[in-house]
Structure 1
Amino acid sequence: MPTSLLENLLVELLARVCEYVGLSHRPSLLSFALASKRCHSVAKRLFFHTIQFSANSRRQLELDVGECIRTLERNASFSDVRILLITAGRGRDKHDGALTSAHGGTRSWSFGLPLSVSEMVDGDKDRLQGLERRSALVPTESQGTSPDIAILTDTAWQPLARLVQILHGLGDVFIWMWCCDTDGLDDDDDGQPGYHAEAVYSMVRGLAPNLKEVHLFQEPGSAYYYDGNPPPPCPPWKGFTNVGEDLTYMPAQLESLELGLNVLSARPRLALDNEVVDSWTANTKLSFLRALRISRIVSHGALRSLIRAKSFPCLTTLLFTCAEEQEHAYYDDVKHFIHHLPQLTSLEVIAWPPNISLAAALPHRLRELWLRTQNVLGQSLDEAAILELAARCPCVETLALKIRRSRGGAAEVALYKALGRFANLRRLVLALDASPVPWFQAAAPPHEQVDEFDRRHLAFDTAVDPSFDESDRQYLTGGLYPYRNGHVRDVLVNTAVDETLARAIFRTVCAEKASAYGHSAALALERVMIQPEGGRSFPHQATMTPVAWGLRPYLTALGRRWLLERDVRDDARQTIHAREIDKEHRLRLVDSSGKIRGLEHSRYVAYMPIFRRIWPERPGVSANWYDDWHSWSLAETT
């Protein structure tokens, strides 16, 4: 388009053009801005639409906020900032890529136009790549820490507090914070006071009146100094200085709140307690909250505080993490809390006991259900429980469940058929439980196969399946006693998932949907994610070496994750595409010759005879056991 035509367009239309170009191809937005002064003045509003800070050290944060203020002042763009995204306590996260970098080197702030607010806030929204937690910013095992990341004291928050006050056009503020606290102290060598939660509360109480989302993650620090002495009590926070004296403090109207915990540090003392819940209740207008995600274990006191609040009329999304091994009254209260959320459409429950029914508490209008049951050997959702969920929640379109494998037998097939009773199901995530059967108390360990140490400490035994032959009944030595060869055989068979089995599961669910609701209902199932797990969940006593380590190569080879997707073309809806997920990660365990690294170790080799009893060598078919296997067929598809 000639420049003269651009000049004659309405400002509102030019702004829409800029927004479209910025979201689809950012370099073109820069070219557009160079077309004329008028185009530049319109496009400039988007250059600073979103500002992000990764606050990893107080000194760097001071420098970055100062530079940001000078940049905004130079471009007269204070009023152009609409979104402020603050991530504190972790290094650069993958969402940095959603913003146009404003710098090079080690600076930790950037500005630009996000691809979309939903992508920036919740990058894996449909979460069909597994059962991971919703927020992509939850700390993971692979994320490292640096000595300075947690040093965000009261003075470190001052620059951000000042910046928030001068961004007059600010519409939304998002905060992701990771902190490592020990009784109010940062977990570093200096034992500096840490006031992360207090700083957030101050922003919630009115310092950032447009604050919409808060994501606060906590990890326990050390309870003692290196000299073995406990740290002194943390002095009270003095609050922000020279900031906000003229403000009228009002509770923020948050739309989303996430209270998370590093998944590697789920210690009881960091369970969510009633004091934290009461603080958020006092500082926030919960009636505006649309999403509440609690990935910290919720204590019974905190649960009762949530129930007493009675302030969630708009809540549509809930993630709730149960405390394990609680009295029945605790789970009754969880059901009571869920049942009194009238607008709930998306629910994720973590660590729900598989032997307690949740169906009666679920709203009929629920569209997403992510039910992660506790890892209790011998307990799982049965056919009746799944059918009850399907009857209670006919509108569910996205479903994630863990079901028990039983070597592809009739009981297992019945579970897949029960899943087909969800009439509107479109997306399904299945965690296939391949864990062993539980052991039970025995009078005394059996005869000579147990050494004297085990004889003193082990008084357990395992059941003998009717399918076990003489070899299967033999006890395993080492850390897997009192399990038997047959139990390892079952774990391997139940873990083995190839493309043929994945497709058979997909077909079984669809066939039941077609039988119950018609062919069009079967075609509505678009995506199925399948992932086996639990193969190393052999119980052990505290005095024993961690068990099932020797099974790891076998479980890695057999336990493949599959994503099956229906073709989107109208004339090819019967075509199902299957691909293995994380194949590259699995293949990293294979050396250049195709052999599993370290398999020559005795603890690995010991299980090869069991493997070969299931899948005998076939000369000329495969030179490597790693690919010389296949899943057992489903009972009704043999």
Structure 2
Amino acid sequence: MELATSPSLYRLNVVCAWRDSDGDDDFNLEAVMDLASGLAPNLREVSIVEIWPIGCWRYDRRRRELWQGLPGLTGKVAGSLTSWTWVGCCDNVGTKLRKNWRRNTDLAHLQHLTIGRFHETHLGISGDEMEWIIQNRSFPRLKTLSVALTRDDLFDDQPHYVKNAVSFFQAFKPLEELFVYGPIDTQIMESILSRHGQTLRKLTIHPQEQWFSNVNGRTANNPPMKFTKDHLSQIADLCPLLEELSVPVKRNKSRASEVELYRCFGKMKALRYLFLILDCSNWMVWPGNNQEHNRNPQFDEEDQEIVISYDSGTTNVTRAEVKEILINCAVDESLARSIWNTISQNKEGRQLERLKLWPTGTSSYPRRPQPFMVLVEEMSRSWLLERNPRDDQVDPIVGELGKLSREYRQVQMHLSDDFGGPTEKMFRSVWPCKAGSKDWRDDWSSFPLEVR
């Protein structure tokens, strides 16, 4: 207790759980909240990571003991935090915030707020929880907000989600940094830009949707919001100070429509750091989407063959659609340089300093054949491009991110055993064997950008 209540305690990082692997109740969260409520007089920064320990479910049937509180907590002195981070792995993040944000924890001085999650798209704060936050808490000095959202509609429709999200972002004073992950639509994004655009220096918008099929007779198949030229133009017009941006860009086999999206970033005059998530997915063939969709009439009979099959009621994936996915996820150094050049040549204002490219979306298909994953692992590469500090050098400095990990995974997949037969035939229909080639990995390349 002497250390916990020390006037020197300024920052606290804690891992907590409901119950640990040995079956002992974990009260780390409650203890931290006691400290943040005034027991630690100079505590200003709190970071909480909630985990689900291996084996803890074996003790689910036992009732959890009541927290007795730390000695010395009177409630007469209010804590005053400047930074709060909560990263949760359970589906009641918002509920726990409502329970643990106590009245004697002063949030009036809070400058940085993070309500995050791990990779599960169903976690975050729901529309009802957003409504509770804006009605019961205020953050007059907040500068940075990072938040994970969820529709929370697995069992019941949530018709007011968008309305609550709009009100949530409008309730904050104009922010300098904003990071949003989860269900986002045009209305939510427009509310973000209209309220905070003029002051934003960093912005991350990662639209994500949870997919499920036949839960209580309901199916969710809303595609994540796709950024258009109009969306990116809005960011350019409404965010004059924006220096750092992270958004997804829908890949379209390097066609002119995709190139136009890259050109939009050149209109962002203050932009210096850009992280593009190259979205290679095709929501029409995602599991859970049982809507009928028209196959491309240009597909020949062979390309109409089903190569990835799901349960009845969902859409299967044809050979042609898999080929499109592979073309989109094939990101080599040449394509990375072309994207950099397209942005830089159209750049107004400050020069682009750094560009990160991360292709994603292929992992959304369950029951993926192993050969399909072999191809994806080889061709789906991430890149970091940085402006060369030398004045006499125009070309950027380029490096592949995660190269060693990719090469290790490829060895583990036993490439030579997995490539052949129908997979090779499909691959060769897109990338024929080059003269003198001895390995298919030397034959593929990204489709070049259609630059007019």
Q: 1:360 aligns with which of 175, 191, 208?
A: 191
Are the counterparts in 2 of residues 319 and 347 from structure 1 also a CA contact under 8 Å? Answer: yes
Task: Report the CA distance shift for 1:472/1:338 in structure 2 as closer, same or farther (over 3 A).
Answer: same
Residues 458 and 346 of structure 1, relative CA distance in 2, 3 Å threshold: closer
Report what 1:15 is aligned to. Answer: none
CA distance in structure 2 between the partners assigned to 1:378 and 1:220 by the alignment: 28
Q: State the partner residue of 2:219.
A: none
Instruction: Determine which structure has greater relative contact order: mean sequence separation of CA pairs < 8 Å that are 6+ residues apart, divided by chain length.
Output: 2
Amino acid at match of 2:282: P
Number of equivalences? 424
Q: Secondary structure at the match of 1:572?
A: coil
Does 2:449 correspond to 1:634? yes
Structure 1 spans left out of the alignment, 5+ residues: 1-160, 442-456, 541-545
- Distance (Å, rounded) in 2 between the aligned partners of 1:332 and 1:222: 38
Could you list the per-position Cα deviations for residues 421-478 of structure 1 after superposition, in whole angstroms to 9, with x for gaps in the alignment? 222110000000111341499xxxxxxxxxxxxxxx9977553225433332222265
1:202 to 30, 34, 41: 34
Deviation at 1:353, TM superposition (A): 2.7
| Structure 1 segment 196-345 matched on structure 2, within 5 A | 196-220=28-52, 226=58, 230-232=61-63, 234-241=64-71, 244=72, 249-262=76-89, 267-268=90-91, 270-273=92-95, 276-277=97-98, 279-296=100-117, 297-324=124-151, 325=153, 327=158, 329-345=160-176
1:328 offset after TM fit, Å? 5.0
Q: Distance in 1 between matches of 2:40 and 2:434?
A: 68
Residue identity matched to 2:450: A
CA, structure 1 residues 469+321, in 2 after alignment: closer, same or farther (shift >3 Å)?
A: same
Q: CA deviation at 1:596?
A: 5.6
Structure 2: give runs of 5+ residues left out of the alignment. Answer: 118-123, 210-221
SS across alignment from 1:506:
helix
* TM-score, with length taken from structure 1: 0.61
The equivalent of 2:277 in structure 1 is 431
User: How far, CA to CA, are the matches of 2:125 and 2:57 in structure 1?
Assistant: 28
Matched residue type, 1:285: D
Amino acid at match of 1:173: Y
Equivalent-residue separation in structure 1 for 2:368 and 2:187 (angstroms): 29
Deviation for aligned residue 1:585: 0.6
- Secondary structure, aligned partner of 1:164: coil
Distance 1:530 1:328, change over 3 A: farther
| CA deviation after TM superposition for structure 1 residue 483, in Å | 1.4
Q: What code does the residue aligned with 2:66 have? A: P
Name 2:425's counterpart in structure 1.
Answer: 609
CA distance in 1, matches of 2:240, 2:207: 21
Residue 284 of structure 1, CA deviation = 1.8
Q: Hey, what's the Cα distance between the residues in 2 that align with 1:458 and 1:201?
A: 43
Structure-1 separation of matches of 2:230 and 2:206: 17
| Structure 1 residues 223 and 580, CA gap change in structure 2 (3 angstroms) | closer
Per-residue deviation, residues 312-363 of structure 1 (Å, max 9, x unmatched) = 1111110111113564522222222222322411000001334545123331
SS in 1 for 2:336: helix
Structure with the greater alpha carbon radius of gyration = 1
| Distance change (3 Å), C-alpha of 1:484 and 1:177 | same
Cα deviation for residue 180 of structure 1 reads 2.1
The equivalences for 1:362-441 within 5 A come to: 362=193, 363=196, 364-375=198-209, 377=223, 379-439=225-285
Which SS does the other structure have where 1:420 is aligned?
Answer: helix
Tell me, yes or no, if the aligned pair for 1:278 and 1:305 is still in contact at 8 Å. no
Task: Report SS of the residue matched to 1:344.
Answer: coil
Distance in structure 2 (CA, Å) of the matches to 1:252 and 1:534: 43
- Deviation sequence 1:562-601 (CA, Å, 0-9, x none): 11100123x236331111111101111344xxx9615524
Question: In structure 2, the residue corresponding to 1:613 is in which secondary structure?
Answer: helix
What is the aligned partner in structure 2 of residue 560 from structure 1?
381
Aligned position for 1:463:
294
Cα shift at 1:534 = 0.7
2:20–2:56 Cα contact (<8 Å) kept: no
Change (3 A) 1:467 1:382: farther
For residues 357 and 496 of structure 1, what CA distance do their matches in structure 2 show?
Answer: 32
**Kept after mapping to 1: 8 A contact 2:370/2:418:** no
Distance 1:253 1:420 in 2: 42
Structure-2 separation of matches of 1:508 and 1:399: 17
CA contact (8 A) 1:354 1:381 kept: no
Task: Verify the 8 A CA contact 2:175 2:199 in the aligned structure 1.
Answer: yes
Partner residue of 2:345? 511
Structure showing the higher helix proportion among its residues: 1
Is 1:177 the counterpart of 2:37? The answer is no
Q: Indicate how the Cα distance of structure 1 residues 559 and 389 shifts in structure 2: closer, same or farther if over 3 A, else same.
A: same
1:359/1:392 contact within 8 Å kept: no
Residue pair 2:278, 2:360 contacting (<8 A) in 1 also: yes
With structure 2 as the length reference, what TM-score do the two structures score?
A: 0.85
